[in-house]
Amino acid sequence: MMRTRTKLPAVLLLLSLAFPVGLVALGAEGTDSQKLSLAEAQEYAVKHSTSTQNARLDVSAAKKKIWETTASGLPQVNAKISYMNNLKIPTTLIPAEFLDPNAEPGSFIGVKFGTQHNATLELTVDQLIFNGSYIVGLQASRIYLQLSREQLTKSEIDVKETVTNTYYLILLAEDNRETLETNLENIRKTLYETKELHRAGFSEDTDVDQLQLAVTDLENAVNSIKRQIEISYNLLKFQLGFDLQKEIRLSQSLEDILTDINGQELLTTEFKLFNHIDYRMMDTREKSFKLLLKKEKADYLPTISTFFSHSRMAMRDSFNFFSKREWYPSSAIGLNINIPIFGSGMQRARVAQAQMELQKAGNLKKQAADGLQLELLQSRSAFADALEKKQGSKQNVDLAKKIYDKTLVKYANGTTSSLELTQVHNQYLTAESNYTRAVVELLTAKTRLDKALNRL
């Protein structure tokens, strides 16, 4: 007798709720097919998923931000060309005696100064010598780069977790489909034999009807799980950044995954808080607030800069600046020192606010450390419970299978009724359903524990 594992239709709902399955547009599969192990699927998703690609762009942008901040303190060279056409040269009044000693005292004469066409070529060089905020800004830009890199790592971990859950979902669904189809084949065989016995007058109508109901339920379950598998595969392709028109298959089986689970290692692995990405991000965040406080204090310091400018000016009565007539040069060099003296307490208030934000960041960092420790304890407890439940459920499945096989033999020999066979069959289905639920809980708990241990 073949081993006949099956699942109730309720198990299909369990599978659909065990992991987050979104609604993804289904595309027609092409002829190209690629097989992926769980590790390969995770690696592919890290390289091609939208979230990790955007996180890598953020890292590149942070590198550019460092150069932007650095360049603001380097020499700034600017050139300026200006031209002015005095359509009406302004008239200035001067005392008439300036031009005519015999002029009446108190009288004025209008005089026009300047030329109609004026042009200026100017080159300026500015160099920052000292600015406290600039120095802190350089440090802050590097912290920003570090935070971007950590966010990339966090995105990679989240993507791996999502892909792992979907990978497990597909394996569970495919394993469920195989057992459903095997059980359906056996039930159909039993139904055929019962129909033949009924024609010969050795069984009742209810025996045939009972088995026909079981066959119909299993046929519906098989069709439903096939649709579930198709949706799950498209979800996985979406998460991987894989072409929806191409076919993808999993190279690992559910048995491979369950065999690879090392419960003792997961329950005894040393937890290193400072290596956990969530703690590192909180630590980096605290450093950024330290720099913010440093920046606000640096605003009390003076800013020193120097400059050099050189210009040449031409004044013409006609537009002939390209002639060889003279351009008049002018040059200057100087030093600027900006010293903050009194700001009505505004800067002091900013420093106080920065100190409070730093204190809040420290509190959140401590809370994150405690939360990670608590999450580890809860994850290990949930994993240990799931491991025990899975082992117990597997024993129950084997026992229910043994009872069902014996009852099936009795039914074939005519020593038991179809009602008793159906009851034993439902008992076996319940055991299978509980086992599937236990496997779901175990895989979910393992992923959660892997993440808590920073193993993803």
- The answer to whether 175 touches 254, Cβ cutoff 8 Å, is yes
Can you tell me the distance from the alpha carbon of 427 to that of 399, in angstroms, rounded to the nearest whole number? 10
pLDDT for 407: 86
CA distances from 155 to 56, 158, 241, 282, 417 (A): 10, 5, 14, 15, 58
Separation in Å, CA 208 to CA 170, 190, 200: 35, 9, 13
Residue-wise over 62-71: b if at least 16 C-beta within 10 A, else e? beebbeebee
**CA 6, CA 221: separation in Å to the nearest integer?**
10
pLDDT score at 371:
95
């537009």: which residue's tokens? 319
Q: What's the residue count for the chain?
A: 456
> How far apart (Å, rounded) are the C-alpha atoms in residues 303 and 301?
7
Half-sphere exposure (Cβ direction) of 145: Cα atoms closer than 13 Å: 16
Residue by residue, DSSP assigns 132-167 as HHHHHHHHHHHHHHHHHHHHHHHHHHHHHHHHHHHH
Cβ 136 vs Cβ 294: under 8 Å:
yes
Contact 134, 73 (CB under 8 A): yes
| 416 Rama sector, left if φ>0, alpha if ψ -120 to 50, beta otherwise | beta
Quick one: 9-73+131-301+343-452 is in which CATH superfamily? Outer membrane efflux proteins (OEP) (1.20.1600.10)
Question: Per the structure block, which two tokens stand in for 158?
Answer: 């989240």
E-state strands within 7-95: 33-36, 76-85, 91-95
Interacting residues of 64 by C-beta distance below 8 A, sequence separation 6+: none
Both tokens assigned to 232: 């799950």
The pLDDT value given to residue 176? 85
The tokens for 72 are 């603001």
Block mean pLDDT (10 aa), the chain, length 456: 38 40 37 82 94 95 93 93 90 83 82 88 94 91 94 95 94 87 83 82 80 88 92 94 90 89 88 93 95 92 94 86 83 94 88 94 95 95 93 90 86 78 80 87 93 90
Say which amino acid occupies 386. Answer: A
Distance in angstroms (rounded) separating the CA atoms of residues 288 and 293 = 9
User: Alpha carbon of 188 to those of 181, 216, 353, 433: distances in Å?
Assistant: 10, 10, 76, 21
pTM (two decimals): 0.78
Cross-strand bridge partners of residue 39: none
Q: Which two tokens stand for residue 131?
A: 């600015």
Give the span between the Cα atoms of 268 and 173, in whole angstroms.
31
